[in-house]
Amino acid sequence: MASQDGTLHRRLGLTDSVVIGLGAMVGAGIFAALAPAAASAGSWLPVALAVAAVLAYCNATSSARLAARYPVSGGTYVYGRERLGPFWGYLAGWGFVAGKSASCAAMALTVGSYAWPEQAHAVAVGAVAAITAVNYTGVQKSAFVTRVLVAVVLAVLAIVIVIGLAGTHSAATALPDRIGPREVLTAAGLLFFAFAGYARIATLGEEVRDPRRTIPRAVMIALGLALVVYALVAVAALSVLGSAGLAQATDPLARVVGAAGVPAAAPVVRIGAVLAATGSLLALILGVSRTVLAMARDRYLPGALAAVHPRFGVPHRAELVVGAMVAVVAALFDLRAAIGFSSFTVLFYYLIANISAATLTTEENRPPRWVPVVGAVGCVVVGFSLPLGSVLAGLGALALGTALYGLARRSRR
């Protein structure tokens, strides 16, 4: 049951919070982002992964301290509003909704590409509908489903790692050595797409028990586990396929086990990719709908979207609208275009988070001074190192959000 004042239930403990974060990170990102990142960074892929991890750590630390201070739904939309002013909070929320809607579509398309390549878009739309139905019936069921999916996906990735490191490496080929700092930063921006799931924990702040203690711990645990898994998978993939083979693969992890001498494991990896994308899609739609809820409460989006279901205790209208929007994007656009756009807009979201965290005082448990500084600078540098099309599309989305904010302010007057 939802409380009478329309707030959400605090049902999630540390384990469920970590699992939801892992479900968003250790998912389709590692299946989808590894190949385009290798095409940019080549054999410097591990360096790009390290850059993305440092940036993710700074963003996670800033977000966790802010989430503990403001344990309500909305994430950086709330932090920016409280620390910097309504406009910056709104623009962060707009960037999150736009970027993560693209991420949701990318996850759905990954499901379609691995499950039934000839009908990828149709399968993607069906996956969005199914996940929206699961989320509609309550966050506890969502956390349980995510826990099962994370366990299966981690087992599949363990198979890839073991086979990749122990198998034959004779097929490995390298890209020409013409990689510079710009290419490494571009790859870091693409790999950041696979790390951004820890934000799901912060956006669920209103549904977490003891949020001041639980949220920071859950964010750090989930991020650390994801980094270890990603590093091992990247090393295994480079060892078997080399940077050239990895860059050319549309299904890189399935090809790793085949080239390493165990082709019978490829179907298992494909199934794992479908489950990983499903887990990520579930957690992502949860986070986007909660940000829509927070923005609707403040009337920057239609107030009807702020409704909480009296039985299931979830923002059911927000979830239905987000599901419909993601289904449309998944039906019309392709996978790789969604990754670059999502990375740029989400990096802007974390730019606002880091600047907000820099305003915390000692009494408010601020992070070390260098953390938000490195995080903010990193978001700008890595964001503008992404492909030009992604940068222009992201700037266009932010400009549209700014225009809509002006209209909303004028209407409220």
CB distance 140 to 9 below 8 Å: no
pLDDT for residue 141: 54
Q: Please write the tens of the pLDDT for every residue from 243-271.
A: 999 988 878 898 899 999 999 999 999 89
- Does 316 map to a domain? yes
* Domain around 150: 14-407
| Structure tokens belonging to residue 211 | 């949020």
From residue 130, give the alpha-carbon distance in Å to each of 35, 153, 200, 257, 392.
28, 19, 19, 30, 33
Instruction: Give the integer Cα–Cα distance in Å for 300 and 166.
Output: 54
* 390 pLDDT higher than 80: yes
Percent of the chain whose predicted confidence (pLDDT) is above 70: 91
Longest alpha-carbon distance in the chain: 68
Backbone phi, psi, residue 257, to 5°: -70, -35
Band (pLDDT 50/70/90 cuts) for residue 1 is very low
Identify the CA nearest to 204 among candidates 48, 409, 8.
8
The number of residues in the chain equals 413
Mean pLDDT along residues 84-88: 95
Instruction: Give the integer Cα–Cα distance in Å for 366 and 62.
Output: 8
From residue 143, give the alpha-carbon distance in Å to each of 39, 95, 225.
35, 25, 18
Residue 206 identity: E
pLDDT for residue 140: 56
Q: How many CB atoms lie within 10 A of CB 154?
A: 15
- The whole-model pTM stands at 0.84
CB-count exposure of residue 75 (10 Å: 0-12, 13-18, 19+): buried
* 347 pLDDT higher than 70: yes
Identify the CA nearest to 316 among candidates 328, 307, 303.
307
| CATH number assigned to the domain comprising residue 382 | 1.20.1740.10
- Does 413 map to a domain? no
* 90 pLDDT higher than 90: yes
CB-count exposure of residue 369 (10 Å: 0-12, 13-18, 19+): exposed
- Does 337 map to a domain? yes
pLDDT for residue 240: 93
Q: How many CB atoms lie within 10 A of CB 142?
A: 24
| Structure tokens belonging to residue 267 | 């179907």
* 81 pLDDT higher than 50: yes
- Does 412 map to a domain? no
- Does 213 map to a domain? yes
Question: Number of structural domains, the chain?
Answer: 1
pLDDT for residue 183: 93
Q: Please write the tens of the pLDDT for every residue from 108-125.
A: 988 887 788 788 889 999
Q: Please write the tens of the pLDDT for every residue from 280-330.
A: 788 788 878 888 888 888 788 888 999 998 888 889 999 999 999 999 989
CB-count exposure of residue 172 (10 Å: 0-12, 13-18, 19+): middle
Band (pLDDT 50/70/90 cuts) for residue 2 is very low
- Does 117 map to a domain? yes
pLDDT for residue 22: 78
Mean pLDDT across the chain: 86
Band (pLDDT 50/70/90 cuts) for residue 381 is very high
Q: Please write the tens of the pLDDT for every residue from 9-20.
A: 676 778 878 877
More confident of the two residues 236 and 203: 236
Backbone phi, psi, residue 380, to 5°: -70, -50
- Does 7 map to a domain? no
* 144 pLDDT higher than 50: yes
Flag the least confident range among 99-103, 140-144, 173-177. Answer: 140-144
* Separation of first and last alpha carbons in the chain: 35
- Does 369 map to a domain? yes
Q: Tell me the three state secondary structure of residue 366.
A: coil
CA 252 from centre of chain: 20
CB distance 12 to 152 below 8 Å: no
Instruction: Give the integer Cα–Cα distance in Å for 294 and 361.
Output: 25
Q: What is the DSSP string of 73-141?
A: TTTHHHHHHHHT-HHHHHHHHHHHHHHHHHHHHHHHHHHHHHH-GGGHHHHHHHHHHHHHHHHHT-HHH
